[in-house]
């Protein structure tokens, strides 16, 4: 079997933390042949570190896309660049994995969907939190109807003080927003996926810029004080989403908020038979000492009970064969191209995530409910 030839456009933080290591770990399936970044030194460094013999680097993605031998493109740029690069990649006949979110607004996401459908190629979005053990277990329970009808849920993406101080995160012109579009997108994705509900009908949103310009608030940031004078995005945002079948999701997202407990890429599900919550990263740790902790609640012989994941299967000095979410995500993506199957994260699902996030921003700006 010929290996897939992969190109990475955008060689900054997310590429080096996630995509490049994950792709390089799949040497049986792919080889990294091209790299692009507007900063030439970054593209060159990535090429030297991860590229196969003869790999090339570019500063113009249009030049990279002229290479007909490239099968797959990973788009790892700031949010506003997702649409033009992804559309150009489809027009060039490439399969595309785009980092989350799909786009910074619904209009751009729709253009990406249209280009994908016209191309006949594979398309997915980088929601690696679906591949965590707790998320997989929760989704399997939902698929088995163990919770009954899930009529209410919460999507949690709360950081007490964890404003990113690198890259272009506080730059609205490049990202389109702050914590809502950055980490709220992960929480909403896993909540929608577990509920298998992609028919929103209305959205109410509140967006706040209360702490972003406060030098006092910035002093407690885990990544060091942020630049309060050039902080252009919200520091917290909240959404109330109603669906065609009457179900409701409350979404909370913050980089900085005066709230004791942090919960990120986590959700709470309430069903007619039972419920569950991914506790997420909590201040001071959690019961199992893990970063994430799934707790299922219900009744048992007339009593209220809770169940959680167990650590008792661990063997001393042996970590087992499990992989990190980014590696599982990457492997299934490459295999879906090779085997002509659907990726776990379907474009239609990721589009609804962007549609809802965009509606929260619009609702807050216009001061009214947004109908979808």
**Number of C-alpha atoms within 13 angstroms, CB side, residue 370?**
22
Q: Clarify whether residues 200 and 270 are in a common domain.
A: yes
Q: Clarify whether residues 95 and 238 are in a common domain.
A: no
The predicted-structure confidence for 30-65, as pLDDT tens digits, reads as follows 999 999 999 999 999 999 999 999 999 999 999 999
What is each CA distance from 304 to 272, 307, 358, in whole angstroms? 14, 10, 39
**Placement of tokens 């997702």 in the chain:** 82
Q: Kindly state the average pLDDT of the residues 253-258.
A: 97
- Give domain status of residue 338, yes or no: no
Q: Kindly state the average pLDDT of the residues 107-117.
A: 98
Where does the pLDDT of residue 105 fall: very low under 50, low under 70, confident under 90, or very high at 90 and above? very high
Q: Clarify whether residues 173 and 294 are in a common domain.
A: yes
- Give domain status of residue 342, yes or no: no
Where does the pLDDT of residue 321 fall: very low under 50, low under 70, confident under 90, or very high at 90 and above? low
Q: Clarify whether residues 109 and 172 are in a common domain.
A: no
Q: Kindly state the average pLDDT of the residues 62-84.
A: 98
Of 279 and 206, the one with more pLDDT: 206
User: Residue 202: helix, strand or coil by DSSP?
Assistant: strand
Q: Clarify whether residues 289 and 172 are in a common domain.
A: yes
Q: Clarify whether residues 266 and 144 are in a common domain.
A: yes
User: For residue 287, what pLDDT is reported?
Assistant: 38
Q: Clarify whether residues 144 and 291 are in a common domain.
A: yes
Distance CA 34, CA 73 (A): 9
- Give domain status of residue 330, yes or no: no
**CATH code for the domain of 270:** 3.30.360.10
Among residues 100, 121, 142, the one where a domain terminates is 121
- Give domain status of residue 371, yes or no: no
Distance CA 20, CA 35 (A): 10
- R_g (Cα) of the chain, nearest Å: 21
User: For residue 279, what pLDDT is reported?
Assistant: 87
Number of domains in the chain: 2
- Give domain status of residue 237, yes or no: yes
Whether 216 has a pLDDT exceeding 60, the answer reads yes
User: For residue 320, what pLDDT is reported?
Assistant: 54
Q: Clarify whether residues 164 and 281 are in a common domain.
A: yes
- Give domain status of residue 340, yes or no: no
Q: Clarify whether residues 160 and 264 are in a common domain.
A: yes
Distance CA 336, CA 75 (A): 18
Distance CA 45, CA 257 (A): 37
Task: List strand residue ranges (DSSP E) for 209-335, in order.
Answer: 236-243, 248-254, 263-271, 275-278, 294-300, 303-308
Where does the pLDDT of residue 2 fall: very low under 50, low under 70, confident under 90, or very high at 90 and above? confident
- Give domain status of residue 209, yes or no: yes
Whether 317 has a pLDDT exceeding 70, the answer reads no
User: Residue 210: helix, strand or coil by DSSP?
Assistant: coil
User: For residue 48, what pLDDT is reported?
Assistant: 98
Nearest 5°: the CA angle 109, 239, 141 is: 85
Distance CA 193, CA 201 (A): 17
Whether 224 has a pLDDT exceeding 50, the answer reads yes
Q: How many percent of the chain have pLDDT more than 90?
A: 90
Q: Clarify whether residues 176 and 260 are in a common domain.
A: yes
Model confidence, pTM: 0.94
Q: How many percent of the chain have pLDDT more than 70?
A: 93
Whether 354 has a pLDDT exceeding 60, the answer reads yes
Q: Which two structure tokens, joined as six digits, stand for 119?
A: 């191309």
User: Residue 319: helix, strand or coil by DSSP?
Assistant: coil
Q: Kindly state the average pLDDT of the residues 8-30.
A: 97
Where does the pLDDT of residue 309 fall: very low under 50, low under 70, confident under 90, or very high at 90 and above? confident
Q: Which two structure tokens, joined as six digits, stand for 283?
A: 């201040």
Among residues 121, 156, 173, the one where a domain terminates is 121
**Number of C-alpha atoms within 13 angstroms, CB side, residue 250?**
6
**CATH code for the domain of 64:** 3.40.50.720
Residue 81 has φ and ψ, to the nearest 5°, of -90, -5
Distance CA 87, CA 114 (A): 9
Specify burial of residue 4 (Cβ count, 10 A radius: 0-12, 13-18, 19+): buried
Q: Kindly state the average pLDDT of the residues 361-369.
A: 98
Q: Clarify whether residues 108 and 147 are in a common domain.
A: no
Distance CA 75, CA 87 (A): 11
- Give domain status of residue 19, yes or no: yes
Range of the domain at 41: 4-121
Whether 311 has a pLDDT exceeding 70, the answer reads no
Among residues 94, 121, 148, the one where a domain terminates is 121
Q: Clarify whether residues 63 and 105 are in a common domain.
A: yes
């Amino acid at each position: 079997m010929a290996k897939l030839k992969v190109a990475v456009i955008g060689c900054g933080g997310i590429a080096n933390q996630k995509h490049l290591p994950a792709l390089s770990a799949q040497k049986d399936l792919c080889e990294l042949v091209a790299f692009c970044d507007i900063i030439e030194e970054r593209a060159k460094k990535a090429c030297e570190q991860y590229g196969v013999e003869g790999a090339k680097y570019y500063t113009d993605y249009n030049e990279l896309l002229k290479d007909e031998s490239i099968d797959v493109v990973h788009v790892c740029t700031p949010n506003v660049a997702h649409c033009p690069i992804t559309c150009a990649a489809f027009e060039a006949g490439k399969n595309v994995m785009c980092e989350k979110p799909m786009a910074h607004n619904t209009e751009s996401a729709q253009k990406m969907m249209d280009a994908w459908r016209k191309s006949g190629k594979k398309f997915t979005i980088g929601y690696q939190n679906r591949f965590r053990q707790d998320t997989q277990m929760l989704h399997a329970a939902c698929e088995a109807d163990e919770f009954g009808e899930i009529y209410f849920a919460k999507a949690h993406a709360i950081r007490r003080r964890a404003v990113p101080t690198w890259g272009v995160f506080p730059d609205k012109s490049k990202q389109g927003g702050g914590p809502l579009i950055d980490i709220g997108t992960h929480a909403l994705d896993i909540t929608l996926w577990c509920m298998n509900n992609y028919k929103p009908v209305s959205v109410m949103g509140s967006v706040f810029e209360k702490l972003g310009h406060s030098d006092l608030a910035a002093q407690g940031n885990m990544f060091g004080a942020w630049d309060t004078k050039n902080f252009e995005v919200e520091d917290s945002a909240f959404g109330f989403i109603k669906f065609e079948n009457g179900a409701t999701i409350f979404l909370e997202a913050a980089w900085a908020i005066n709230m004791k407990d942090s919960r990120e890429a986590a959700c709470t599900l309430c069903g007619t038979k039972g419920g569950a919550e991914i506790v997420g990263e909590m201040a001071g740790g959690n019961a199992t000492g893990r970063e994430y902790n799934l707790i299922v609640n219900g009744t048992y012989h007339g009593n209220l009970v809770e169940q959680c994941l167990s650590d008792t299967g661990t063997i001393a000095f042996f970590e087992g064969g499990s992989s990190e979410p980014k590696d599982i995500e990457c492997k299934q993506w490459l295999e879906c191209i090779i085997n002509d199957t659907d990726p776990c994260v379907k474009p239609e699902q990721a589009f609804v995530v962007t549609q809802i996030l965009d509606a929260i921003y619009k609702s807050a700006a216009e001061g009214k409910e947004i109908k979808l």
